[in-house]
Homo-oligomer: A and B are copies of this chain.
Amino acid sequence: MLLVLFAVEDIIGEKLERLRGSPDSMQEKIHLPPDRYFGPDPQQKAIAMELYSQAKDLPLVCPHGHVDPRLFADPDCSFGTPTELLIIPDHYVFRMLYSQGIPLESLGIPRLDGGPVEKDHRKIWQIFAENFYLFRGTPTGMWLTHELHEVFGVQEKLTGESAQRIYDQIASCLARPEFRPRALFDRFRIEVLTTTDAATDTLEHHQRIRATWDRRVIPCFRPDGVVNIDTPGWRENVQRLSAVSGIEVTSYRALVRALEERRRFFKEMGATSTDHGVLEPYTEELSEQEAEAIFARAMRGEASAADARRFTGHMLMESARMSIEDGLVMQIHPGSFRNHNLPLYERFGPDKGADIPIATEFTRNLRPLLNKYGNDTRLTLILFMLDESTLSRELAPLAGHYPALKLGPPWWFHDSLNGMMRFRELVTETAGLYNTVGFNDDTRAFPSIPARHDLARRVDANWLAGLVVRGVVDIYDAHEMMQDCAYRLAKKAYKL
């Protein structure tokens, strides 16, 4: 014992050498210790391991995300090349490369004008590998490393030197039937996977899935394109809504009816939730006449920014009313300034890593909605945030009071080792664990799903172990809470 404290530096030095091998060997091999992401205290780590081991093999409940349902509609669908799988569709990956001066064209990101971009996927992969050090300490780095190692069996670290060997290895995996999306769905032990779908979507892929496969892939109803009247292409969206709903949307009243009809259809196709992306969570109840007047102005292309804000705020309230009636869980994702980089947007379109958060206000903005519907236990309203300063200030106090309100997990930039830990620490003391809803992977990158859930489960195990060693909760409670975090809360909140 005295040894521990007096001579710790000498002894540990030796020990560390063995633990980690020499720096040179480290340079070459992926390092994924079984106790990764846990704090170093031995007692806490042992408890974290115990809690994690109990949760790690639970089925994956994925109640919110952006995986393309097409992947599962055709049993023979494949992921394409490693570059098509891991780089081109993933703005988490290419935004970091872009931030260091690497043009999106050289990464094969398609241009809207069809202009030339790199077509050689091995060349793109090489650039990615040479710059993979940029992801040190980032969740993208953690997920990708997990994915390479656990899904594709890669042993080497990804560097310029190893790039092509690893490309070969992944490519040879992807050619095999057990790496088809449907096969991976089972290998990943996914219990349910929710996609996100426009109100105007025909859900044809979901229909194919239901017809040909007995796994649970369900849509989520996202009406942004038809209720946010300042969306580019809003009028076309409204026409499409008319077409798919069979209701001629020429008035506000018809819009509401068409939305109700679409929700009915989505529900029939398995949906249990809706989702609403807004710049700010402003809510306001308009009179029927005001709503009709704004709708008419929007149809004439004459709606102002203030009109758009009010109309969206009103439609959030309408959505809450519909949720009370049809039982769909309502989600709000506010606070992202979309397409911040206008020249880039004009060249490459949306979702290119240039959506930037803004400060968000919930207390005053949500009051009309919460005053009208927040006391109704039939409503489940799940709030997400990109502004962590609201967690202890607004969101936890709101969720710790209103029966209808629950807090979604840390979103986007905050879905990370530190972000998830901060969320637990800032929220739990005021809102409790039971006003939160477990984990969402919220990803487009299907093969990253196990890595994301694994990271979340590890963070929660470590957080709970920290509570146990501090005597905040006992081990019995921690075991219960672990099950809640990893599985039960998501299933219950989303009615799955």
Name A's interface SS: helix
Tell whether, in the assembled complex, residue B99 and residue A402 are in contact, meaning their CB atoms are under 8 Å apart.
Answer: yes
CB<8 Å pairs between A and B, sample of 11: A4-B42, A16-B47, A41-B41, A99-B403, A101-B377, A133-B434, A136-B481, A137-B433, A341-B370, A341-B371, A354-B401
Cβ of A176 within 8 Å of any chain B Cβ, yes or no, is no
Cβ of A396 within 8 Å of any chain B Cβ, yes or no, is yes
Cα A349 to Cα B467 in complex, Å, equals 36
What class of interface size applies to chain A in its complex with B?
A: 35 or more
Cβ of A330 within 8 Å of any chain B Cβ, yes or no, is no
Q: Interface-forming stretch among A161-169, A301-309, A414-422?
A: A414-422
Cβ of A359 within 8 Å of any chain B Cβ, yes or no, is yes
Tell whether, in the assembled complex, residue A375 and residue B474 are in contact, meaning their CB atoms are under 8 Å apart.
Answer: no
User: Which residues 227-273 of A sit at the B interface, judged by CB distance below 8 A?
Assistant: none
Cα A435 to Cα B353 in complex, Å, equals 15
Tell whether, in the assembled complex, residue A374 and residue B341 are in contact, meaning their CB atoms are under 8 Å apart.
Answer: yes
Tell whether, in the assembled complex, residue B133 and residue A480 are in contact, meaning their CB atoms are under 8 Å apart.
Answer: yes
Type the 1/0 row for A95-111, where 1 means its CB is closer than 8 Å to any CB of B.
11011110000000000
Cβ of A183 within 8 Å of any chain B Cβ, yes or no, is no
Cα A91 to Cα B419 in complex, Å, equals 30
A411 → chain B, closest Cβ, in Å? 12
Tell whether, in the assembled complex, residue A393 and residue B388 are in contact, meaning their CB atoms are under 8 Å apart.
Answer: yes
Cα A333 to Cα B231 in complex, Å, equals 35
Residue of B nearest to A388 (CB): B392
- In the bound complex, residues from chain B placing their C-beta under 8 Å from that of A469 are 40
User: Which residues 455-496 of A sit at the B interface, judged by CB distance below 8 A?
Assistant: 466-477, 479-481
Cβ of A50 within 8 Å of any chain B Cβ, yes or no, is yes
- In the bound complex, residues from chain B placing their C-beta under 8 Å from that of A45 are 8-9, 12
Given A40-B469, A357-B363, A429-B419: A23 and B475 within 8 A (CB)?
A: yes
Cβ of A202 within 8 Å of any chain B Cβ, yes or no, is no
Q: Interface-forming stretch among A30-38, A74-82, A115-123?
A: A30-38
Tell whether, in the assembled complex, residue B15 and residue A393 are in contact, meaning their CB atoms are under 8 Å apart.
Answer: no
- In the bound complex, residues from chain B placing their C-beta under 8 Å from that of A402 are 99, 341
Cα A42 to Cα B95 in complex, Å, equals 37
- In the bound complex, residues from chain B placing their C-beta under 8 Å from that of A367 are 340
Cα A27 to Cα B480 in complex, Å, equals 11
Cβ of A217 within 8 Å of any chain B Cβ, yes or no, is no
Tell whether, in the assembled complex, residue A139 and residue B429 are in contact, meaning their CB atoms are under 8 Å apart.
Answer: yes
- In the bound complex, residues from chain B placing their C-beta under 8 Å from that of A138 are 428-430, 432
A50 → chain B, closest Cβ, in Å? 7
Cα A399 to Cα B361 in complex, Å, equals 24
- In the bound complex, residues from chain B placing their C-beta under 8 Å from that of A433 are 136-137
User: Which residues 1-44 of A sit at the B interface, judged by CB distance below 8 A?
Assistant: 1-9, 11-13, 15-16, 19-20, 23-24, 26-27, 31-33, 35-44
Residue of B nearest to A403 (CB): B101
Residue of B nearest to A344 (CB): B375
Tell whether, in the assembled complex, residue B37 and residue A40 are in contact, meaning their CB atoms are under 8 Å apart.
Answer: no
Given A4-B1, A371-B343: A389 and B393 within 8 A (CB)?
A: yes
Cα A343 to Cα B401 in complex, Å, equals 13
Tell whether, in the assembled complex, residue B37 and residue A44 are in contact, meaning their CB atoms are under 8 Å apart.
Answer: no
